[in-house]
Amino acid sequence: MRIAAGVDVGSTQAKAVIMSDNGGLKILGRALVDTGANVQRAAERAFDSCCQAADLRTGDVGMVVGTGYGRYKIAFGNTQMTEITCHAKGASFLCPGTRTVIDMGGQDSKAISVGASGEVLDFVMNDKCAAGTGRFLANSAEVMGISLDEVGPLSLQAKHPVKIATVCTVFVESDILSYLAQGKTAEDVLGGVHIAIAKRTLSLARRLNIEPEITMTGGVARNIGMVWALETVLGKKMQVSPDAQYMGAVGAALFGLEKLDQSFETGVWRGDHAVSGGH
């Protein structure tokens, strides 16, 4: 039985997934930790927790594939790939028929055009600023004194969502305060914020051909208000897996299994990808 792990080290959270291929692909365990200041340690903690969750020893894992911004810092990893490639792969596996991935993470968002085998055909990214990312939501929540978990459900109760013109996380704060001062309800303000983010994200995604099935990945996928806002603006239903946050790690683990299987021998696995301190 082949066992591989995917470790996705993002700027805010590190995720690990262990999968096996024993006549069928299966997820054996998952783990999620806050990244904190030390990326390498976060990767290790995620991996160790995941092994525990899967009831395995670290040595049982035949291949570790790193992904995410911290992928070069995963010293114990065998190789790495970008999270774009991994999200496409993971989404394809967990949500069959995926042709478009919309990933909204803590600090960046992206849209990916995916082929029938989970390969990346095209992608667009917003990695320059927080507009359309989890950070925008977190900031808005903080300004309003509401917990991040509540913003989604509250936004669904908006009767007259306010109009938010700016996509700048910093400037939206004064917009929010302005509206609250005018007497708008928190629900209406949050409704407006969610719609603004949805519009911004879909604007980005439209640079590709948005084709169904559309799968949402990343931490923000847990926000039901965001899912609803995206579906409303897009006019189409999206697939959201309960493992949305683990998509990158799942994809990485799948690549790990393929590598073990030697079914994917390409130049991508050249030695220069294996980390010894990164580039």
Query: In the complex with another protein, which residue's Cβ is closer, 38 or 178?
Result: 178
Beta-carbon count within 10 A of 85 CB: 20
Residue closer to another protein, measured from CB, 261 or 272: 272
The distance of closest approach from Cβ of residue 250 to another protein in the complex, given in angstroms and rounded to an integer, is 17
Q: Which residue bears the tokens 């990343």?
A: 218
In the complex with another protein, which residue's Cβ is closer, 195 or 227?
A: 195
Shortest Cβ 159–another protein spacing (Å): 18
- Could you tell me the smallest distance in angstroms from the CB atom of residue 149 to another protein? 27
Residues engaged in binding another protein (CB under 8 A): 69, 81-85, 108, 117, 119-125, 127-128, 162-165, 174-175, 178-179, 199, 202-204, 206-209, 264-268, 272, 279
Shortest distance, position 83 Cβ to another protein, whole Å: 8
Nearer to another protein, 160 or 206 (CB): 206
Per DSSP, 235 falls in state: T
Cβ contact 130:105 at 8 Å: no
Tokens standing for 216? 């949402």
66, containing H or E segment:
strand 63-67
Q: Of the two residues 69 and 228, which places its CB atom closer to another protein in the complex?
A: 69
Q: Least separation, in Å, of the C-beta of 260 and another protein?
A: 17
Element (H or E) spanning 3, and its range?
strand 2-9
Per DSSP, 161 falls in state P
Toward another protein, which CB reaches closer, 48 or 231?
231
**Which tokens in the block code for residue 266?**
């390409």
Contacts 24+ apart (CB under 8 A), 110-118: 110/84, 110/204, 111/201, 111/204, 111/205, 111/207, 111/208, 111/210, 112/84, 112/87, 112/88, 112/208, 113/208, 113/209, 113/211, 114/88, 117/92, 118/88, 118/89, 118/91, 118/92, 118/93, 118/251, 118/254
Instruction: Find the shortest distance in angstroms from Cβ 74 to another protein.
Output: 15
